[in-house]
Amino acid sequence: MARLDTSKIFRTAYENGIVVPGFNIPYLPMMEPVVRVLHDCNSFGLIMVANLEFHKFEAGSLAAIRNEYEKVKDEKHTRLHLDHDPVIDEDDQRIDFLSIIGEALQLGYESVMVDGSRLSLDENIAMTSLVIQLTAGKVPVEAELGAVMGREAGSLPPYEELFISRKGFTAPEETARFVRESACSWLSVAIGNIHGAISAAGKQKDKPQARIDINHLKRLKDAANIPLVLHGGTGIPKEYIQKAVANGIAKINVATAIRQPYERNLDKRIKAAQNAVYETTCELLKSELSIGNSANFFK
């Protein structure tokens, strides 16, 4: 049987109301328990790394992640994805994002994300289009429209203030144009979700319990007509996640939920930290996302 490519997997997920979790790996020893639990639960997920995880955590490099993945990969249950590759990063620095994506493609990453969310609409479209040209249609390209808050320098405003003001929310009136002109494969949207803190002072604090504006999401789904992505999935109540998946969210990113248990157990031994990742991921797959046996959909 031919191996199903990542584009078809996400189209299947989108059309059948299934969510594919993407697990960020800021520390290399986290990868093995994540892949193992995906196999044990017969679930499908992405193994991911973002640019900031090389610089502010211990992921090492694109090659280090790829090499670790090659040791443990399970093609029925996993694919390798380059997460947030920003044009402008959380410290307001311009990044050589095209060279990072080019390296990821050479290393065999099976989907990539360009994050132009800190740009104007026109420039975001233009930069995303450059990535589409670079990939030459060989792998799916995720983009972001709107601004998923949480990784900016300085403190985050109170969550209720962000939600009520709709600050950073993806604009439905811009979405159809963005998808049409950029030709992105998947679109990360801002609908009340927020990223976990990455600063030394904040990264072990509990995230605010975020929620999702489902009516806003419905308008984005109608405008985009492609798989949508929810970043900052940790801390959003299950009922919101279920409604989001029913309304176009085909990928949900998970970082804080598995990173914090790993870090909190490192003072014991690596094995204890890995066990904490395994147990947390297992609970998430079975209870929070309810996607045990989801790999059966992607044969």
* 155 to 129, 148, 149, 291: CA distances (angstroms): 32, 14, 11, 35
Beta bridge partners of 155: none
- Residue 85 among the catalytic residues: no
Q: Which residues contact 109 (CB under 8 A, 6 or more apart)?
A: 62, 66, 80, 81, 82, 139
Give the whole-angstrom CA distance, residue 266 versus residue 243. 35
Q: What tokens does 59 get?
A: 């992921």
Q: What tokens does 212 get?
A: 């999702």
Question: Which helix (H) or strand (E) element contains residue 114?
Answer: strand 111-115
| 51, 89 contact by CB (below 8 A) | yes
Which phi and psi angles does 256 have, rounded to 5°? -55, -40
To the nearest 10 degrees (0 to 180), the angle between helices 172-182 and 121-135 is 30
Which phi and psi angles does 219 have, rounded to 5°? -65, -35
Instruction: From the candidates 40, 83, 122, 206, give the one annotated as an active-site residue.
Output: 83
Residues recognised as catalytic: 83
